[in-house]
């Protein structure tokens, strides 16, 4: 029996988009079970003294990330449109509400579809994922009842759950997204997705 | 005809080790010609305000890098021994002299063997690559005449060439090692080695 894998994702993260779109098919090939756990990079970056994404702090790194995302999306057959640099929906987008909705949605069988649609809305269609109207539409399209999900997203228990995910991520040593854990074994980056799943299969 | 690829490497860089050991076989499979260009990350990190490697500045990132190196080396069948944290041969090692020797060596047919041996000495055998006795031995083992190479390494022209490589790297937008360029197309990281070579083959 392969070990279970936890997929740690942040909605504002570009490389988390690639993994969110790819992980189910790769996991299925290997018979691996994956738990999706949304978390927030903000508090983790803050703890390192960063006020924004390192892709904004280091322009050369940021510039190449966007180009790499174009290349990698094309390689994987995924739609991708780089946000215009002067777009008010700046990078990174505010992802807290989307993450809380995801926590509610992931209890349902349409939850992963909702998560993927949040990424597509952001990185292919240029939508603002912090806008409640965007989320409302995505929940309904995925198969949920928006009023119920948004109510749950604002509940104390959901806020606590997201905070607990951030704490758990930090104590597992996460410092970026996406990340994958197999027990205490940590893999960072979309380019380690296959390694993490293989690890789950090949480790005793 | 595939485009030529430039392989930008820094001797102190752990992921450059993986690429140095892998690139010739991967390039040969695809019929791609690769030019090896050593450069220094120090001045590039300095320009970003870093006094040492980000793997030292951000401990969680550094810890996972060492673990990832163990896993990736095993995957590629390469020897790897993590330097002990209290080892006087600290990370990152001082790589300037090795890089200057490489510039001299890469004019010779044993030059790449020398480069690979510098990496193995450092990341498998625990040697200090800033030590002239280490380099002397590695040059002779690779097939060179140490006195000639070390003389050339200290020549003004070689020092200028290394500085020019750093300037060229910076103007191409490099911010880490290894990197690969195909014209102005920049790929960063050992995990983009195959992408860069494929790009050289598949682009007009």
Integer Cα distance of B139 and A3 in angstroms: 47
CA distance A14 to A69: 7
Report angle CA B26, B30, B31 to the nearest 5 degrees.
Answer: 110
Between positions 35 and 64 of B, the ones with CB within 8 A of A are: 48, 58, 60-61, 63-64
Q: List, for residues B1-12, the tens digit of each pLDDT value.
A: 999 999 999 999
The DSSP secondary-structure symbol of B13 reads: -
d(CA A34, CA A179): 12
Interface confidence, given as ipTM, is 0.93
Chain B residues in contact with A56 by the CB 8 A cut-off are none
Instruction: Give the span between the Cα atoms of B18 and B82, in whole angstroms.
Output: 14
Q: Residues of chain A with pLDDT > 90: what percent?
A: 90
* Ranges in chain B, pLDDT < 50: none
Chain B residues touching residue A58 (CB < 8 angstroms): 48, 175
Nearest residue, CB atoms, A175 vs list B60, B71, B188? B60
Spatial separation of the C-alpha atoms in residues A199 and B12, rounded to whole Å = 28
Q: What is the pTM of this model?
A: 0.95
SS3 B91: coil
How many contacts (CB atoms, under 8 Å) link A and B? 47
The helix (run of H) or strand (run of E) holding residue B34 is strand B34-38
B189 CB neighbours in chain A (<8 A) are: 191
* Separation of alpha carbons B94 and A113, rounded Å: 50
**What is the pLDDT, as a whole number, of residue B90?**
82
Q: Which of B41, B50, B64 should one mutate to test binding to chain A, selecting the residue with the greatest count of A CBs within 10 A? A: B64
- pLDDT at A86 (0 to 100): 64
Q: Report the residue from B71, B72, B195 with minimal CB separation from A71.
A: B195
Q: Which DSSP letter does residue B95 get? A: -
| A175 contacts in chain B (CB < 8 Å) | 58, 60-61, 64
Q: Which residue has the tokens 């799943």?
A: A197
DSSP calls for B64-81: HHHHHHHHHHHHHT----
The candidate with the shortest Cα–Cα distance to B176, out of B22, B37, B40, B18, is B40
> Does residue B202 contact residue B1 with C-beta atoms inside 8 Å?
no
Report yes or no: A67 at the B interface, CB cutoff 8 Å.
Answer: yes
B58: which chain A residues are within 8 Å (Cβ-Cβ)? 48, 175
Q: Closest residue of A to B192, CA-based?
A: A191
Measured in degrees and rounded to the nearest 5, phi and psi for residue B35 equal -100, 125
Instruction: For residue A152, list its beta bridge partners.
Output: none
What's the sign of the alpha-carbon dihedral A75, A76, A81, A85? negative
- Give the model confidence (pLDDT) of A45-54 as tens digits: 998 888 999 9
* Confidence label for A88 from pLDDT (cuts 50, 70 and 90): low
- The whole-angstrom separation of Cα A197 and Cα A27 is 7
Question: What average pLDDT does this structure show over A49-74?
Answer: 93
Write down the pLDDT at residue B88: 57
SS (H, E, C) chain A: CCCCEEEEECCCCHHHHHHHHHHHHHHHHHCCCEEEEECCCHHHHHHCCCCCCHHHHCHHHHHHHHHHHHHHHHHHCCCCCCCCCCCCCCCCCCCHHHHHHHHHHCCCCCHHHHHHHHHHHHHCCCCCCCCHHHHHHHHHHHCCCHHHHHHHHCCHHHHHHHHHHHHHHHHCCCCCCCEEEECCEEEECHHHHHHHHHHHHHCC
For B122-133, the pLDDT digits (tens) are 999 999 999 999
Cβ <8 Å between B48 and A58: yes
Pair B162, B38: CB distance under 8 Å: yes
Q: Which of B58, B63, B175 sits opposite A60 (nearest CB)?
A: B175
Contact flag B68-A187 (C-beta cutoff 8 Å): yes
* Percent residues over pLDDT 70 in chain A: 98
The residues facing A15 across adjacent strands are none
> b vs e for B45-68, b when ≥16 Cβ sit within 10 Å of the residue's Cβ?
beeeeeeebbbeebebbbebbebb
- The single-letter DSSP state of residue B126 is -
CB spacing of B68 vs A173 below 8 angstroms: no
């Amino acid at each position: 029996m392969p070990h279970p894998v936890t997929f740690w994702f942040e909605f504002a993260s570009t490389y988390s988009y690639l993994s969110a779109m790819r992980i189910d098919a790769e996991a299925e090939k290997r018979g691996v079970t994956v738990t999706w756990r949304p978390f927030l990079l903000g508090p983790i970056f803050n703890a390192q003294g960063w006020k924004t994404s390192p892709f904004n702090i280091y322009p050369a790194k940021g510039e190449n990330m966007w180009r790499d995302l174009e290349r990698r999306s094309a390689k994987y057959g995924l739609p991708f449109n780089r946000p215009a640099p002067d777009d008010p929906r700046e990078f990174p987008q505010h992802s807290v509400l989307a993450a809380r909705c995801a926590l509610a949605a992931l209890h349902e069988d349409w939850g992963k579809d909702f998560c993927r649609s949040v990424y597509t809305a952001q990185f292919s269609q240029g939508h603002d994922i912090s806008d409640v109207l965007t989320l409302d539409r995505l929940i309904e399209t995925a198969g949920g009842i928006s009023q119920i999900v948004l109510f749950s997203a604002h509940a104390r228990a959901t806020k606590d759950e997201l905070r607990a995910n951030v704490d758990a991520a930090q104590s597992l040593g996460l410092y970026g997204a996406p990340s994958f854990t197999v027990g205490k074994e940590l893999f960072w980056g979309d380019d380690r997705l296959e390694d993490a799943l293989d690890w789950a299969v090949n480790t005793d």
